[in-house]
Amino acid sequence: MGRMVLLRGVKKVFIGAVGLATVLVLFSPAVSAEPIGISPDNPHFFQYKGKPFRMVGTYTHPILVRVPWGKVTTPFDYEGFFDTLAENRINAARVWLFWNGKCYERTGPGLARDGQPKYDLNRFNPDYFRRLEAMTRYAEKKGIILELILFDGWITKKEDLYSKYHAYAEGNNVNGVCLTRQQFGIYPNAASRYQDAFIRRVVDTINARDNWFFETKNEGGMFREDWVRHLIGVVREYEAGKAKHHLMAHEPHWGGYDPFTHKDVDVYSRIVWYTTTPHREVHEKLLAAYGNACAMPCFYDSDGGSSTAPQRQDQLRKNAWAAVIAGGHVQIIYSQGDIPALRTSLRHLMTFMDAVDWVRMKPRDDLVDRGYCLARPDEYVVYLPDGGSVQVSLTEGRKSLRARWFNPRTGEYTTGPEIKRRSKMSFKAPFPGDAVLHVFFHAPSFPAFAGMTEGRDKGTLS
């Protein structure tokens, strides 16, 4: 008689030695360890650990290194930060690698303009790279994808900060490099070999990790296309000789390099941004990107304004839903205070999307008279930023459907009507404020569905 075994909560079964091997193969499929990539099923999304992956993240400036002009000097608690993200099902963060040059040792002789020993651009700071590796490893443990910004361009717009703090500025290093902020984004420049060496050292440090991809730069006043192309080329060429190859992202603001025109990047970072951007603009810009022939993951990023005020968190919740229904991804920044309400909203967003076959759905605003719609045959998701009523054209797929409402602020479901025949149908949200309508053929395999709150049917056939 065979032995009794218990496999991952599966009911006890009696199997022999051959049966055990068979079951282990069936229940433990091998997933190749590859870096986050582009989904083969839909190029607008990522793939991670063999599954489609939609990115919804939050971030703050000092995750890896603090800005040199800030009052706080103690290292940022990235472990606590990533723990909080994981608890709220937030799966990404954007991280600055290079604010001013903390990757280099400060050996002197002589003092830089900030009163500290000058940088030696030939000597990397081992503490910086140990922290980089540990941060990336911990994020991977928590299921967090890191969008790693190679260079910061915001500081190149601030003459006082750049000249005082930047390692490449005149008088701040022992190597004789005198790179003005206007020259930073030009290739070649006086610091090109040091920039290239930094990129290679970062790759050496974290190439083995799967949970990251590069972003060329953050903002920038005078970054030229030749400089961006060079950075991409350095990464591609160097990783060609490594075990793993990672994605490259670029955001074109303040730099004349358009990922849709030059197809040597994989991700369009920050196609639309700023905290106060209206949800309609967020949705429409991502829709335009979704329809572009150069299909790739595209982001809404709230960088450019405070997100801690209650009214801003309310707006950002709407922007996040508007982005996701347009087939986009989300990054939300906060630089002061905390955003617990927004994190909760993002958790509700992620929980809802886990119950939806989003990788096979497409933006279909043409099916609704208001709001934003994501659809496939037999499934529709409609987001109403202002709540109220919506008319949906249910013209594709099977005849019998069910409907339910989702409250994006509380995470609660309310049942809707069973739909016996196909036509245009009007629905009214059973609660005030923004609302999500989910129409589907069968109940998705999602635990919360069984426990959703019951409510009166709110649909009426037109």
φ and ψ at 397, to 5 degrees?
95, -155
Which of the two residues, 271 and 111, has the higher pLDDT score?
Answer: 111
Q: Which is nearest to 155 in space by CA: 220, 216, 103, 215? A: 220
Answer whether 283's CB lies under 8 Å from 330's CB: no
Query: What is the rounded CA–CA span in Å between residue 405 and residue 393?
Result: 17
Average pLDDT, rounded, for the chain:
86
Predicted local distance difference test score (pLDDT) of residue 397:
63
pTM attached to this predicted model: 0.88
Query: What is the rounded CA–CA span in Å between residue 91 and residue 93?
Result: 7
Residue 442 is encoded by which pair of tokens? 């069968």
Predicted local distance difference test score (pLDDT) of residue 423:
81
Query: What is the maximal distance between C-alpha atoms in the chain?
Result: 81
The CATH number for 37-360, chosen from 1.10.287.610, 3.20.20.80, 3.20.20.370, 3.40.50.1000, is 3.20.20.80
Torsion of CA 333, 338, 344, 349, to 10 degrees: -10
Predicted local distance difference test score (pLDDT) of residue 376:
93
* Lowest-confidence region among 31-45, 172-186, 253-267, 432-446: 253-267
Q: Which is nearest to 345 in space by CA: 421, 410, 251, 248? A: 410
Whether 24 shows a pLDDT value over 90: the answer reads no
φ and ψ at 167, to 5 degrees?
-65, -25
Whether 23 shows a pLDDT value over 60: the answer reads no
DSSP assignment of 312-324 equals: HHHHHHHHHHHHH
Convert the pLDDT of each residue in 334-378 to its tens digit. Answer: 876 778 899 999 999 999 999 999 999 999 999 999 999 999 988
Query: What is the rounded CA–CA span in Å between residue 175 and residue 455?
Result: 71
Give domain limits for the chain.
1-30, 37-360, 363-461
Q: pLDDT band for position 461 (50/70/90)?
A: very low
**Cα dist from 109 to 21, 30, 247, 369, 401, whole Å:** 65, 54, 39, 69, 75
Overall average pLDDT of the 173-195 stretch: 96
Predicted local distance difference test score (pLDDT) of residue 448:
35
Predicted local distance difference test score (pLDDT) of residue 165:
98
**Which residues, listed in sequence order, are joined to residue 38 by a DSSP beta bridge?**
46
Predicted local distance difference test score (pLDDT) of residue 395:
77
* Lowest-confidence region among 94-108, 235-249, 251-265: 251-265
